[in-house]
Amino acid sequence: MTQALRLATQRLAQTSDTARLDAELLMAHALGVTRSAMLLGRGQEAEPAGFAALIDRRAAHEPVAYIIGAQEFFGLDFTVTPDVLIPRGDSEVLVEAALAARPDARRVLDLGTGSGALLLSVLHHLPLASGIGFERSAGARAVAQGNAGQLGLSARATIAVGDWTKPGWAEGLGHFDLILANPPYVECDAPLAASVRDHEPASALFAGPEGLDDYAILLPALPGLLAPGGVALVEIGHQQADPVTAMAQAAGLRVTLHRDLAARPRVLQMQISPKEGG
Ligand code: GLN
């Protein structure tokens, strides 16, 4: 097994920045154990059947998370399929900011919930809160629903059909203490890694020529969805802080910026501006 891992790592180094980690995760998957259990083992086992086929898939740019069907996010295990964007470490900043901003939140809305990573991480840490994961893709809704069950959150998380490109989409949702969103924000012609462009759902990534189309719909709707004192947190591309801040201000929102693990702008926190002169 040790030798098989070494050879697989060499092969994956051509396509992945995390070749050793990828090889270990795929080996653990082929052995049917966790990566930590595998690393704690003595490594004397024979190469498991099927390992080579998993390495072939990764070498053809398929993301590890889709191959093994799982991704950890905010310390929780999520099931992922090609119907959902793979939760990224950078998005953990949004969850941290949400928990810090409204530890007392009772009603949470996640716009475009995908795997449910944002909503379910927040609900896991706020035992008195309940929430809605708004999602237009039936495949993604099934994944989010499954994750809610897996994490013991089905009673507090409602995965709802919704599409913000349809007029009237926000009517009847109610008001929320926390609104979370990681909408599509990639420019249509952005040069993306093959593992992203060829495997992750385009509908979760691309938002027009400047990547701003979904913010243009979502931000004006936020004031009508926020409860008094409510806070919205929206993930942005690292070069989008200025245009998205301007859009939020035009919608009457006050904006605070949070940076990701690489210190790049990543999350805008928004609240309704207090009325001037009042
Ligand atoms: N952060 C993702 C990427 O760069 C994009 C996520 C999104 O569009 N919401 O691939």
Q: What is the pLDDT of residues 26-36, one digit of tens each?
A: 999 999 999 99
* Percentage of the chain lying above the pLDDT 70 cut: 98
Ligand 1 atom showing the smallest separation from residue 182 Cα: 9
Where residue 49 sits, what CATH number does that domain have? Answer: 1.10.8
Please tell me whether residues 47 and 135 are part of one structural domain: no
Of 31, 60, 89, the residue that ends a domain is 60
Distance 52 CA to ligand 1 centre (A): 30
| pTM for this model (two decimals) | 0.95
pLDDT of residue 46: 84
17 is a domain residue: yes
Which domain, by its residues, includes 100? 81-272
Q: Is the CB of 182 under 6 A from ligand 1?
A: yes
Ligand 1 atom showing the smallest separation from residue 200 Cα: 10
Q: Is the CB of 196 under 6 A from ligand 1?
A: yes
Question: Which among 71, 185, 260 is the best mutation to test ligand 1's pocket, defined by most ligand atoms within 8 Å of the CB?
Answer: 185
Region of poorest pLDDT, from 52-66, 114-128, 194-208, 263-277: 263-277
Please tell me whether residues 157 and 37 are part of one structural domain: no
69 is a domain residue: no
Q: Is the CB of 51 under 6 A from ligand 1?
A: no
65 is a domain residue: no
Which protein residue's CA is at the shortest distance from atom 6 of ligand 1? 205
Where residue 159 sits, what CATH number does that domain have? Answer: 3.40.50.150
Which protein residue's CA is at the shortest distance from atom 5 of ligand 1? 205
Please tell me whether residues 45 and 89 are part of one structural domain: no
76 is a domain residue: no
113 has pLDDT over 60: yes
107 has pLDDT over 60: yes
Please tell me whether residues 198 and 91 are part of one structural domain: yes
Distance 186 CA to ligand 1 centre (A): 6
Please tell me whether residues 138 and 261 are part of one structural domain: yes
- Spatial distance between the Cα atoms of 140 and 118, rounded to a whole number of angstroms: 14
68 is a domain residue: no
Mean pLDDT (whole number) for 226-233: 98
131 has pLDDT over 80: yes
Number of domains forming the structure of the chain? 2
- pLDDT category at 2 given cuts 50, 70, 90 is confident
1 has pLDDT over 90: no
Question: Which among 93, 186, 200 is the best mutation to test ligand 1's pocket, defined by most ligand atoms within 8 Å of the CB?
Answer: 186
Please tell me whether residues 230 and 198 are part of one structural domain: yes
Please tell me whether residues 266 and 130 are part of one structural domain: yes
Please tell me whether residues 22 and 141 are part of one structural domain: no
Q: Is the CB of 199 under 6 A from ligand 1?
A: no
Quick: pLDDT tens for 152-163. 999 999 999 999
pLDDT of residue 278: 47
- pLDDT category at 276 given cuts 50, 70, 90 is low
Q: Is the CB of 234 under 6 A from ligand 1?
A: no
